[in-house]
Each structure stands twice: as structure tokens, then as C-alpha cells.
Amino acid sequence: MITREPQIVDPPANTFAAVGRALIQAWQGAGRGLMMLLGAAAQTPFLFSRKNRADVMNQLYLVGIKSLGVVTVVGLFTGMILALQVGLELRRYGQENSIGTLVSISMLREMGPFMTGLVIAASVGSAIAAQMGTMTVGEEIAALDVMGISPLRYLMMPRLVALAIMMPLLTVYTNLLGIFGGAIVGASQLGISWEAYFDNAFRYAENKDLYVGLFKSFLFGLIIVTVACYQGFTATEGAVGVGRATRRTVITSFLLILVVGYFVTRLFYQ
């Protein structure tokens, strides 16, 4: 059962009690979110049923195709900004030809999955939270529970599969656009030939850089869908609660993407 009656508790007696209660609630929320993620993952064998297959295809379209516009702009200008900022400094030391290497490694390891995660969290994650929150406060989730229909199977699992598949694909797209954007800046503003830029960009980048970045993007997709569904399923107080759930989804997803991204980099690059 996902839906629960809201708990009525006395206000904290002092600041320490308030901090302790907040920490306990945060750990409880993390545990419930993890259980929801595992529960939705356990429903993936039903992926190819008629109803779930249609929902997954619809979510793949919403996450992937509908996000291409903003991902294109973000990816292109991320690479352009990296190339311009780094190139201006390297030009002082006569090393501007190394821009291709720095842009490609930065995009593959960190900036590609990071920027893609932020874009999807702000667009798709907030939309999922708002949709799930509206269904929760409208008691549609409770109705599914009463009828014995699993909300994890029919609501969370298709979104989980869609984000797990599309996040790495969108990250590859962002990486390519970022590297190309760096080439535009290198050729137009720093006097670097296209051949020299792409030669450096692909000569020193390793397969490990790509795989680590794709692994990050996969984790970011799991984070976004888990946070969004959890916040939506626990929304209360009508429209105000839906807005609060949407805001919490974006903030929590951003923070977790930053923290998890750091620890993954620390794990693979010691």
C-alpha cells in the first residue's frame, strides 16, 4: 500500500527536537523511496504486457523526443562555454590546441551526464511529480490500491524504464553536441583548426570516460524517477501540496545528482 493516512504529531519542543525529527523523516523517506524503486523494478517482467507496453512507449517519447529541444541547446552551449573559458586561459600559455582534449573529457566524464540530469529533473521529474501528486490528492492512487491494482506497476514502472533507457542515450547526444560546440568556438574564436581540435578530442579520451558518464546518467535517471514518484505519492493538502511536491522533487533531485556524481567520480578515478 502506497497511500497512508497523514500522521498527526505534536510540534517539536525545541530546536534539537525539530532537527532530530527532520533527520528521522529524511531517513524514513529515503527508505520508502528505495523500497518503491525496488518494487517498481520487480514489476519489469510485465514490461511487455499490452497496457504496460503502450505506457512505456509513451514515456519514452515524452522523456526522449520531447526533451530534445532543450537538451540540444544546453549541450551545445555547455561545450561552447567550456571551450571559451578554458581556451582563453590556455591561450595565455600557448596551449590552446589542448582545448579539444579538455572539452571532450569534461563532457564525457561529468558535464554531459550532469547537465542532462539537471534538464530532465527540471522538466520530466517535475512533470511526473505534478501528475502523481494530482492523482494522489484526487484519491486516484487510493482507488487503485482499493481495486488491487499496483500503482508501482502501472504508474512508476513505465517511467522507470523510460528514464533508465533514455538518460544514457540523451547523455551521448549531449556529449556529441558539447564536443561540437567546443569545436565551433575553437575554430571561430581561438584559431584552432577543425582537424586539430577533433584529433585531440578523440585521441586522449578513453572508453572508461564514456562508460563512467553513462553509468552516472543511468543512476541519475533512477534518482529522478524515484524522487518524483515518492514526492507525488506522498503529496497532501490539495493543489498546495502538489506544488510543494514538485518543488521538492526538483531540489532533491538536483542535490542528489550533485552528491552521487561526486562519489561516482571519486570511486572510479582515485
pLDDT tens digits, one per residue of 65-94? 999 999 999 999 999 999 998 888 888 887
Q: What is the pTM of this model?
A: 0.89
Distance between CA atoms of residues 41 and 225, nearest Å: 12
Residue 7 lies in a domain: no
- Report if residue 263 sits inside a domain: yes
Mean pLDDT value of segment 230-253: 90
How far is the C-alpha of 192 from the C-alpha of 228, rounded, in Å? 44
The answer to whether residue 1 sits within a structural domain is no
In a domain, 2, yes or no: no
Q: Is residue 78 part of a domain?
A: yes
How many domains are there within the chain?
A: 1
Q: 240 lies in a domain?
A: yes
| Short-list 76, 229, 210, CA closest to 163 | 229
Classify residue 15: in a domain, yes or no.
no
For residue 6, the model assigns a pLDDT of 53
Q: How confident is the model at residue 1 (pLDDT cuts 50, 70, 90)?
A: very low
In a domain, 14, yes or no: no
Helices (H), the chain: 15-42, 50-63, 68-91, 99-106, 112-120, 126-137, 140-146, 151, 157-189, 194-203, 207-233, 238-268
pLDDT the model gives residue 2: 54
pLDDT at 3 over 60: no
Structural domain containing residue 69 = 24-268
Is the confidence at residue 30, as pLDDT, over 50?
A: yes
The conformation of residue 190, written as its DSSP 8-state character, comes to S
Handedness of CA 86, 87, 92, 98 (dihedral sign): positive
